[in-house]
Amino acid sequence: KGAMIVDGRKVEFDREKNVLEVVRKAGINLPTFCYHSELSIYGACRMCIVEDERGNTFASCSQLPSDGMKIFTNTPKIRKYRKTILEMILANHERDCTACDRTGICELQDLAIRFGIKDIRFDETRKHLPIDKSSLSIVRNPNKCILCGDCVRVCEEMQGVGALSFAYRGSSMTVTPAFNRDIAEVNCVNCGQCRNVCPTGAIIIKNENDRVWEVVNDRSKRVIAQVAPAVRVALGEEFGLEPGEVTIGKIVAALKAIGIDEVYDTAFAADMTVIEESKEFMERLSLGEDLPLFTSCCPGWVKFAENKFPDMMDHVSSCKSPQQMFGAVLKEYYKNEKNNAEGKETVVISVMPCTAKKAEAAREEFEQEGIRDVDFVITTQELALLIKEAGIIFHQLEEESFDMPFGLASGSGIIFGATGGVTEAVVTRLLKDKPDHSTKDILFKEVRGLENLKEAVFNVDGKEVKVAIVHGLKNTDELIKQIKAGERYYDFIEVMACPGGCVAGGGQPIPVNAEMRRERAKGLYKLDRTSHIKSSDKNPIVASLFEGILKDNHDLLHVHKKQ
């Protein structure tokens, strides 16, 4: 606690972790490439330098605030220094801005404009390095990397994966997967969190919008889109709306305007997942077998489990994720009902907040007789580009509702997009016959010593059930190690790879920070409160599917994972 003098003004500080945060509190947007409040401090970019009374300069992210400290943020010395850093970075940077996916939302471009960089006094130092397109989810272009190390730290510190690291020294320094391999050949789980923190176009989403244009212009195709819960509370940010603002009506209208024939709600399939996963859980609970049961809807987590805990795969639910359940059901439905009659081929596109969903859809266990359940996946970010490319004026769109029959979802299905949502939906379902209970009565409490882990105990049919919710793969890793060591026990564990759940997925609009996560999750909970159907088993269309095409065909909803 104390007060600092920033540019002659007194600013009090309390919990601010460093001088940079105090300066920002004073309303001054100090530039930085490498500071993220949730990651360790690297202090490498030095854009956030400030000057003290004696003329010494230091990186404000790496300095603790102290009472009475006097600093200046815009002295001639600092301005000259910042410009020089920017020019050096730009001399080493592939500057084909018009061809770059990040143009307009690039932090380097922003700062070059902000500091009036017109010409670069240094010779170009860049060597052309190959672009890594091996991943199904992200593209790495090392020629645009500014060595801030954000991706390296997020992958290691938040996700516990460590797929990226610095290699070589001096002017040859690069960020690369281990042994200079392609990213698809290492332990990357496709979560896209590295893309969320990359300030430039060095890590971008693998864009599949060309495929959308191709299929919507092909009359022999019936093109169906499913839209994930978390997309509807984030897309608006791309069009100047606040995070958490629900734009689902406009999303449906935009997809129709682009030429998609039918638009459905992935939350509908989440209702199917709740029913199947609850059933699987109750069976395991009564047999006392293969507990804890881990959720399987997050593909980043599933891949992480396969890489790190192959011996635990029997504990991961056999349910397909909602995305994949939906694809399988849609293909089956149209195969039976319409395709033959109309002679059309059904194409299923998913619109997801997640880069790992692209890789999930491509897994070979998610195809029947050579036909993929989901043909391809575009992210929220790609949808925004698609809308812009089509020239659609988003705020003028008249809202439309989802198509029927698969556009009807319960509030339980919608909250899947936020951490804790799957558990809440499953618990609601398990307690469905207990009018004296509601999920609101179940108290989730933070678990000490482990971040982003919550637990609760409740009673089902006389049995005590212990559930946990964890997000962020590093935390998950630690949790599993403790479970294996016998230090903790749970019956049911929901895992989401991205901190905050899908609302903070690697395909969402950037920036993704704590405030965005909170506001987007609030948007989903608001939808839950205002939905007519609260719990998944009350979804009449889901019920009729279980009586209809799924009656003797439950295999469509399950996967038997290879170990």
Residues lying near ligand SF4 in the complex (CB under 6 A) = 138, 154-155, 159, 161, 163-164, 188-194
Kindly name the residue from 360, 382, 424, 455 that is annotated as catalytic.
360
Residue 352 is a binding residue for ligand HC0 (CB under 6 A): yes
Cα-based distances in Å from 549 to 267, 337, 407: 19, 10, 17
265: left (phi over 0), alpha (psi -120 to 50) or beta: beta
DSSP 355: S
Q: Give least dist CB 324 to ligand HC0, A.
A: 7
Q: Which is nearer to ligand SF4, 182 or 245 (CB)?
A: 182
280 is catalytic: yes
Query: Which residue of this chain has its Cβ atom nearest to ligand HC0 in the complex?
Result: 502
The stretches of 288-438 forming alpha helices (DSSP H) are: 299-308, 322-334, 340-342, 356-361, 380-389, 411-414, 421-430
Per-residue interface string for the shown chain with ligand HC0, residues 367-406, x marking contact by CB under 6 A: ----------------------------------------
Q: Which is nearer to ligand HC0, 43 or 507 (CB)?
A: 507
Q: Give least dist CB 356 to ligand HC0, A.
A: 8
Q: Please report the sign of the dihedral spanned by the C-alpha atoms of residue 520, residue 526, residue 527, residue 528.
A: positive
> Which option in ligand SF4, ligand HC0, none does residue 192 bind, with CB closer than 5 to 8 A by kind?
ligand SF4
DSSP 282: H
Kindly name the residue from 277, 332, 455, 494 that is annotated as catalytic.
277
Give dist(CA 470, CA 473) in Å, integer.
Answer: 8
Per-residue interface string for the shown chain with ligand HC0, residues 258-297, x marking contact by CB under 6 A: --------xx--x--x-----------------------x
297 is catalytic: yes
277 is catalytic: yes
- Confirm if 323 and 300 have CB atoms less than 8 A apart: no
Among 298, 328, 347, 465, binds ligand HC0 (CB under 6 A): 298
Q: Which is nearer to ligand SF4, 22 or 510 (CB)?
A: 510
Residue 229 is a binding residue for ligand HC0 (CB under 6 A): yes
Q: Tell me which residue has tokens 């580009």.
A: 385
Kindly name the residue from 53, 185, 365, 389 that is annotated as catalytic.
365
Question: For residue 292, is the peptide bond before it cis, meaning its omega torsion is within 30 degrees of 0?
Answer: yes
Q: Which is nearer to ligand SF4, 512 or 533 (CB)?
A: 512
Q: Give least dist CB 296 to ligand HC0, A.
A: 8
Taking each helix axis from N to C end, the angle separating 107-114 and 76-91, rounded to the nearest 10 degrees, works out to 140
Cβ burial of 559 (10 Å; 0-12, 13-18, 19+) is buried
Kindly name the residue from 208, 280, 306, 519 that is annotated as catalytic.
280
DSSP 165: E
Q: Give least dist CB 352 to ligand HC0, A.
A: 4
Phi, psi of 83 (to 5 degrees): -65, -40
Phi, psi of 279 (to 5 degrees): -65, -45
Task: Provide the binding-site residues for ligand HC0, judged by CB under 6 A.
Answer: 228-230, 266-267, 270, 273, 297-298, 321-323, 352-354, 357, 416-417, 422, 501-502, 505
Residues involved in catalysis = 277, 280, 297, 317, 357, 360, 365, 502
